[in-house]
Amino acid sequence: MIEVSGFRKVYRETVAVEKLDFNVQPGQIMGLVGPNGAGKTTTLRTIAGIIPPTDGTVGVAGHDIVKDAIAAKSSLAYVPDDPKLFDQLTVWEHLEFVSAAYRVADWREPGEALLARFDLTEKRNTLAQELSRGMRQKVAICCAYLHSPKVILFDEPHTGLDPRGIRTMRDSVMERAEAGASVVVSSHLLVLVEDMCTDLLILHKGQCLFFGPIGEARAAFDAADTDLSLEEVFFQATEGQAAAAAETVE
């Protein structure tokens, strides 16, 4: 559902991502992790069609994100780390806008269900500018789900959410994957990544240190200890020999 091949992104003289290859199949939830500046947001924004790749190809649901942008974007949803809502629209009007943009028929009942799921029913007529950070995040997630995208991209989706909101968000992601969506979650909350992701991509200075099933990441960096937490794997990957090798190549 997501096919990334030879992806490279350069900003002037800065290489943000270097020759990245990975794919995400229907039903998979891929955790995208790495230190600040690793290239995670650049990768997500490129898949979403917001910025173009310098080199390589990015496919979404069988469509090239550059050559067939409208078809690709109609199949995906992207929730950035700081969603920009329309301040003068209410919560319900955001859903109405999204339904029109994606031509979603019979959207009202699913919309009501999404608001109830994310504890937003009482806020349906509240302007976005009057919402808390966490509630704005929930509105963005509801908008992302409304057109039942085949590909869903999350950049730090837990930011601003309370414990109940984090659980609801996690459960909803797993349900979407079970229904056949391909999901990418970029987060620094490694415990939550470990809890819900099936696959893992570790980036360091724009280079891939690991890509594969999350259960294989431990063996990739310490075959002698299969009980390492994802946090321990992360530090071994980004501060150990693999990171040093990547920097040498760079």
**pLDDT over 60 (residue 248):** no
Q: For 212-222, what is each residue's pLDDT tens digit?
A: 999 888 788 76
User: CA-CA distance, 114 to 146, in Å (whole number)?
Assistant: 8
**Out of 30-39, 130-139, 232-241, least confident range:** 232-241
Q: In the chain, where are the structural domains located?
A: 2-75+152-249, 83-148
Single-letter code of the amino acid located at 137: Q
2-75+152-249: CATH topology is: Rossmann fold (3.40.50)
Give 172's pLDDT tier (boundaries 50, 70, 90).
very high
pLDDT digits (tens, 9 = 90+) for 123-149: 999 999 999 999 999 999 999 999 999
The two structure tokens encoding residue 22 = 């990975």
Q: What is the pLDDT of residue 249?
A: 46
Per-residue pLDDT for 242 more than 90? no
Q: What is the mean pLDDT of the chain?
A: 92
Count the neighbouring beta carbons within 10 Å of the beta carbon of residue 218: 19
Distance CA 167, CA 161 (A): 9
pLDDT band at 204 (very low <50, low <70, confident <90, very high): very high
Provide CB contacts within 8 A for 240, sequence distance 6+: 221
